[in-house]
Amino acid sequence: MRLEILTEKSATSTKKGDIVLIHGACMGAWCWMDNFLPWFAAAGYDTHAVSLQNHGNSEKKGSLRMKSIKAYVEDLRQVVDKLQEPVHLIGHSMGGLIIQHYLAAPSPKVKKAVLLCSAFPHPDISLLPRLMRDFPWSFVKANLRMSWTPVFQNPSNARKLMLSQQFPEVRIKPLLEKMQDESFLVFLQIMGLTPPDTRKVKTPLFIIGGEKDYLISESGTREMAAAYGTEPWIVKNAPHNLMMEEGWERIAERISDFLRH
């Protein structure tokens, strides 16, 4: 599978390792370009932002609508297998769930992983009543079309779902123009159709949630962290796309501390 991989090499004389960035649903490698990709390269890591198959400029093969988490896990495996250790993984939203599945049988090169506003390993349908309440017509259209673009395709919806009230209005339209449809099967899997086996995950995890995340509840994030025997960091007032928001540097710094120790 030909995957789009945006790479920035370590800017320091001593390379600390490789970082692989995995995007969430409806996005691509581009979501890391402005902030995390250059920041972690400057911090001493060869940093790779991946577009999963049928996303961004990666190879389009078969129907996106029925792609599975398993297919995306194999994309991640393909990328990691070509790197030298140590490798660290950072996944946002759906990307976090992909990492959880991958870590059930990871390469020994992978040393640590970060789950950023990640989908849960346990079934969770609490989002559905909120979507039906706040976006009733869009929610109906999404299910009829087996496509979630009607839910996020206008700026008002996108702000409520993913962004803070402080996110600049002028940046929302360019963001939505880059976003795309996602596998409907994967959305069902995110809701709990195909959960990862948390018992098999031995890789050290840093779990980060947003206090104001509409899509991923704080309570669910805390339950996920408990399943992995760790404590989450809930970022005060942070929305779902916290790596794009003002203050993202503090999150990158905390991740960097986790990777170093």
State the pLDDT at residue 46: 98
User: What is the reported pLDDT for 193?
Assistant: 85
DSSP letter for 199, please.
G
Q: Which residues of the chain have pLDDT under 50?
A: none
Query: Which structure tokens are listed for 208?
Result: 């980060």
Calpha distance 120→112 (Å, rounded): 18
Distance CA 136, CA 228 (A): 35
Instruction: Please report the pLDDT score of residue 94 as a whole number.
Output: 97
Q: Which strands, in side-by-side order, build the sheet including 87-92?
A: 4-8, 45-51, 17-22, 87-92, 110-116, 205-210, 233-235
- Domain 4-126+183-260 fold: Rossmann fold (3.40.50)
Q: Structural domain boundaries of the chain? A: 4-126+183-260
Strand 45-51, strand 4-8: pairing: antiparallel
The pTM of the full predicted model, rounded to 2 decimals, is 0.97
